[in-house]
Amino acid sequence: MPETRGTRADPHGLPTGTLRRVRILAWIPAVLIAGAIWLLSDTPDLAIAHGWLDTVTRKFTHIGVFALLAAACILALRRWPVGAAASLLAGSALATAYAVVDELHQATVPTRHGTPVDVAIDAAGVGIAAIVLAMAFRRRETA
């Protein structure tokens, strides 16, 4: 079966096989970020600093890393034939679900513990990424 260009299923004019590869490869950043989160969560006695500075640094790191994960998921979904709103919602849901899984995983690691507060902090990072990308998508549509 010959590859088609510019069809409804392929609005970018790419051969079907190429489009499929692009869509799959778009998930590499999200998978790498999720893997890094898993490895860090699997590390007993993980400390960045001492005392209150460690707590503050880790919480801001949670926000930043989960913002990156959400952005990677949202941008990967934009490669599929879904609208901006759907990719924002689904990408945010994926990153937030991973935050829950991450905290459950941490609860099984010696000297670590998972908390709903950390899920909320991770979700704040997800929300920041979603807002920034929503603004970028809107700006792109009006340009």
**Rg for the chain (alpha carbons), in Å?**
18
10 pLDDT exceeds 70?
A: no
43 pLDDT exceeds 90?
A: no
What band does 15 get if pLDDT is binned at 50, 70 and 90? low
Residue 18, judged by CB atoms within 10 A of its CB (0-12, 13-18, 19+), counts as middle
3 pLDDT exceeds 60?
A: no
C-alpha distances (whole Å) from 14 to each of 27, 72, 98 are 18, 22, 32
Helix pair 28-41, 52-77: axis angle to 10 deg: 160
Enclosing H/E stretch for 83: none
Q: What length is written for the chain?
A: 143
Q: pLDDT over 70 for what percent of the chain?
A: 87
Q: How far apart are CA 98 and CA 122, in angstroms?
A: 9
Query: pTM (2 decimals)?
Result: 0.84
